[in-house]
Amino acid sequence: MNSKEYEISLLHHNVQSLSNKLLDIADMLATEHSKINILCFTEHWLSEVQMKFLNIDDFGLISNFSWSHSASGGSCIFTRNTNETKDVNYLGELGQEKVFEISAIELSATSTILACIYRSPDSDFYTFLHTLELLITNVSSKGKRLVLCGDLNVNFLHQNIVGAFHSCTNGPVSAPHTNIPQLY
């Protein structure tokens, strides 16, 4: 197997309304980020129906979480090659408006689950943390790797928060300042 064949390039963006950013996203993908093959968005602010009609050239919507009673929040994942990915429905059951708005896909060739999560800043942090622990346990029990991105609205500079995440993940936690855009 050629390792380049399964290389991913992911972009996460907290868009705060996806529909009015589509031209900017198209320009970005046509120029400096043309090799991106997975797009993860939080706070898309669109309903299930609106998401079905949303078009991003060369990308397909694989997973989505939309609010049922409001036009806020949400998370979604688009990919360039929809044949190598699939929605992970059993993880969608963990989704809760404001607390744990999850969209998740499986990258079939690498046994990796990619989860994109939005957490509203006014939601209960400990409910979020418990649900995150359920996500990690569920994915690891299936022998899969987990890649997590999103807007968690967590102050990682607060020591108790880092300790809580460390106990949840059984490993080191490293998070850049959340207001600085990161592309990995």
Task: Note whether residue 178 is domain-resident.
Answer: no
Beta bridge partners of 115: 104, 148
**How many Cβ atoms sit within 10 Å of the Cβ of residue 136?**
17
Average pLDDT, the chain: 85
d(CA 145, CA 106): 10
pLDDT band at 40 (very low <50, low <70, confident <90, very high): very high
Q: Half-sphere exposure of 27 toward its Cβ, with a 13 Å CA cutoff?
A: 4
Q: Which pLDDT score is estimated for 177?
A: 46
pLDDT band at 183 (very low <50, low <70, confident <90, very high): very low
Query: Residue 179 pLDDT more than 50?
Result: no
Q: What is the pLDDT of residues 94-114, one digit of tens each?
A: 999 999 999 999 998 889 999
Q: Which of 45-49, 56-60, 77-81, 180-184 has the lowest mean pLDDT?
A: 180-184
Determine the structural domain holding residue 114 and report its residue range.
9-169
C-alpha closest to that of 71 among 43, 99, 96 = 43
User: Chain-centre distance of CA 54, in angstroms?
Assistant: 18
User: Considering the entire predicted model, what is its pTM?
Assistant: 0.86
pLDDT band at 162 (very low <50, low <70, confident <90, very high): low
Task: Note whether residue 4 is domain-resident.
Answer: no
Task: Note whether residue 1 is domain-resident.
Answer: no
Q: Which pLDDT score is estimated for 51?
A: 94
Beta bridge partners of 38: 10, 79
Q: What is the pLDDT of residues 165-177, one digit of tens each?
A: 666 655 545 555 4
pLDDT band at 132 (very low <50, low <70, confident <90, very high): very high
CATH, residue 161: 3.60.10.10
Q: What is the pLDDT of residues 56-91, one digit of tens each?
A: 999 999 999 999 877 789 999 999 977 689 899 999
Total domains, the chain: 1
Task: Note whether residue 174 is domain-resident.
Answer: no
Task: Note whether residue 109 is domain-resident.
Answer: yes
- The CA–CA distances, whole Å, from 121 to 97, 126, 142, 163, 166 equal 12, 12, 31, 19, 20
Task: Note whether residue 183 is domain-resident.
Answer: no
Q: Which pLDDT score is estimated for 139?
A: 94
Rounded average pLDDT over 25-39: 90
Rg over alpha carbons for the chain, rounded to the nearest Å, is: 16
Task: Note whether residue 29 is domain-resident.
Answer: yes
Query: Residue 32 pLDDT more than 90?
Result: no
Contact between 131 and 119 (Cβ < 8 Å)? no
d(CA 115, CA 63): 9
